[in-house]
Amino acid sequence: MGKFDQAVAAFRKSAEIGEKIDDKRHLAMVLNSLGGVQQRMGKFDEAVAAFRKSAEIGEKIDDKRHLAMVLNSLGGVQQRMGKFDEAAATFQRSYELLVKLDDQRGQAMVLNSLGGVSSDRQIRRAAAAFQKV
């Protein structure tokens, strides 16, 4: 079993315990970590599922800081999947939360991510136009 597989197994076990003891804050953080490892493994659909579940929990417990963080992670995997419109919308939602929290460092980070999505869109459009020639 590789290091990433070991991490996934540990996060899943930790998530089971979090569910068993009904610790939603812990579960939200573990799912965010699990999604990050799955993204690094190239398991994008699984990462999206983990990030979305983490975001749902963050909303339920009204943890805006966690929600903004996990939305940024979700937007990143959507961007890697080439789903630029979804990624931009997700990053925008994260940004709006960070504005409400007056988290300027977080805002700068998410604006950088939004810029990356815009750049990726332009590259994809240019490549598509070039292929038509």
Span 93-100, average pLDDT: 97
pLDDT of residue 1: 65
Angle formed by the axes of helices 24-40 and 3-20, to 10°? 160
Distance between CA 94 and CA 97 in Å, rounded?
A: 5
Query: pLDDT tens for residues 16-48?
Result: 999 999 999 999 999 999 999 999 999 999 999
Q: In the predicted model, what is the mean pLDDT of the chain? A: 94
pLDDT of residue 121: 80
Span 68-77, average pLDDT: 97
| Domains in the chain: boundaries | 3-132
pLDDT over 90 for what percent of the chain? 86
Chain-centre distance for alpha carbon 97 = 14
Fold classification of 3-132 (topology level): 1.25.40
